[in-house]
Amino acid sequence: MMTRKNVLTAVIGAALTFGATASAYAATTLKLSHNHPRDHAVHQAMDAMAKEVRALTDGEVRIRIYPDAQLGTQRESMELMQNGALEMVKTNAAELEAFAPAYAAFNLPYLFRDKSHYYNVKEGEVGEEILASSRDSGFIGVTYYDAGARSFYTSKPINTPEDLKGMKIRVQPSPSAIAMVNALGGSPTPLAYGELYTALQQGVVDAAENNIPSFSLSRHGEVSKYFSLDEHTMVPDVLVISTKAYDGLSEEHREALKTASFNSMELMKKLWAESEAEERANAEKLGVTFVQPNKAAFAEAVQPMYDALESSNPELNEIVGRIQAVQ
């Protein structure tokens, strides 16, 4: 088995030859890093995209997917991409906030009214603008993937924000996630996803928050027996590509990527719904109890985050207003 260091060395070595792949005969390989296992819906959606890109370009463009954080955490993968050692990363809006500020809008709790509002924003004008907003940072967004709603899980039921008082709660490295947990009275602890199982097991943190499939597939149900469906955020997953790699593709190849990524986003909606039902059942089999908390109390507790935006971050406030106006 290749160690993570060996994989990285091989990938970086291959990256050095990336510039040479533009010859008429050689295929262009785009390396894509993400942190989920192969049985996660997002891996399957991206696998379908990779196959379609290959078919549409007669094998001239190949996307090689490295799952399971083999190439590092989401943040490390973003840095590798910015340094030219990788071409694509599947991350999410929470971690992208540190690289492109407009993504912070997606991380505000109780922003979306329902699933169709969420889809209409992602697939509409504001969503497209946010994907394009990071060009100056060396990458652009290719597509969003449905990642459902995130909720708290721990060793006891969480029915109201008061139940979070004094708890160390793992959040993604995202200023909005930190602000949200503070507003709810918990104590936010930013950690990479891959470190969370051990952190929960050893009591480094008391609680975490995620969607049901990620919670279940990372086996967090073994160490957290209550999943409280407060559904505070709907943070989409995002596939990004370095501008260097994107600009290096021919017009036709870019079209192929656009078509295949759109189709994989649509496929993901179906895969996601199936995965949510299946992984909830799997978690229940493992002894996890799903709790229905008082969502209104959570929404009320985070309202100050919205009230502060107008003066603290007018640009973000404007984006949030546009999102709220989407039907």
Nearest distance, CB of residue 302 and ligand GCU, angstroms: 18
Nearest to ligand GCU of 52, 237 (CB atom): 237
What whole-number distance in Å separates Cα of residue 57 and Cα of residue 51?
10
Question: Looking at beta carbons only, is 153 or 226 nearer to ligand GCU?
Answer: 153
User: Does residue 233 interact with ligand GCU by CB under 6 A?
Assistant: no
Of 153 and 193, CB closest to ligand GCU: 193
Residue 57 or 172 with smaller CB distance to ligand GCU: 172
By beta-carbon proximity to ligand GCU, the closer residue of 74 and 143 is 74
Give CA–CA dist 95/74, Å, rounded. 8
Q: Minimum distance from CB of 73 to ligand GCU (Å)? A: 8
Interface with ligand GCU, residue 74, by CB under 6 A: yes
Q: Is 276 in the site for ligand GCU (CB under 6 A)?
A: no
Selected from 57, 143, 172, 176, the binder of ligand GCU by CB under 6 A is 172
Query: Shortest gap between Cβ of 123 and ligand GCU (angstroms)?
Result: 19
Tell me the closest approach of the beta carbon of residue 316 to ligand GCU, in angstroms.
21
Residue with tokens 């959570």: 298
Count residues near ligand GCU (CB under 6 A): 10
CB of 252 to ligand GCU, least distance (A): 30
Q: Is the CB of 49 or the CB of 61 nearer to ligand GCU?
A: 49
Radius of gyration of the chain (CA): 20
In the complex, the smallest distance separating the C-beta of residue 177 from ligand GCU, rounded to whole angstroms, is: 9
Task: Pull the structure tokens for residue 41.
Answer: 């819906």
- Tell which one of 139, 193, 226, 298 touches ligand GCU (CB under 6 A): 193
Contact pick of 30, 104, 105, 147 for ligand GCU (by CB under 6 A)? 147
Taking CB under 6 A as the rule, does residue 237 contact ligand GCU?
yes
CA–CA separation, 306 and 150 (whole Å)? 19
Question: Is residue 143 a contact point for ligand GCU (CB under 6 A)?
Answer: no
99 binds ligand GCU, rule: CB under 6 A: no
Query: If binding is defined by CB under 6 A, does position 272 make contact with ligand GCU?
Result: no
SS (H, E, C) the chain: CCCHHHHHHHHHHHHHCHHHHHCCCCCEEEEEECCCCCCCHHHHHHHHHHHHHHHHCCCCEEEEEECCCCCCCHHHHHHHHHCCCCCEEEEEHHHHCCCCHHHHHHHCCCCCCCHHHHHHHHHCHHHHHHHHCCHHHCEEEEEEECCCCEEEEECCCCCCHHHHCCCEEEECCCHHHHHHHHHCCCEEEECCHHHHHHHHHCCCCCEEEECHHHHHHCCHHHCCCEEEEEEEECCCEEEEEEHHHHHHCCHHHHHHHHHHHHHHHHHHHHHHHHHHHHHHHHHHHCCCEEECCCHHHHHHHHHHHHHHHHHHCHHHHHHHHHHHHCC
| Using rule CB under 6 A, residue 70 touches ligand GCU | no
Handedness of CA 230, 195, 215, 86 (dihedral sign): positive
Does the protein bind ligand GCU through residue 33 (CB under 6 A)?
no
Residue of the chain from 210, 224, 242, 261 that contacts ligand GCU (CB under 6 A): 210
216 contributes a contact to ligand GCU by CB under 6 A: no
Binding to ligand GCU by residue 212, rule CB under 6 A?
A: no
Q: Under the criterion CB under 6 A, does residue 207 sit at the interface with ligand GCU? A: no
Report the interface residues with ligand GCU, using CB under 6 A: 35, 74, 91-92, 147, 172, 193, 210, 214, 237
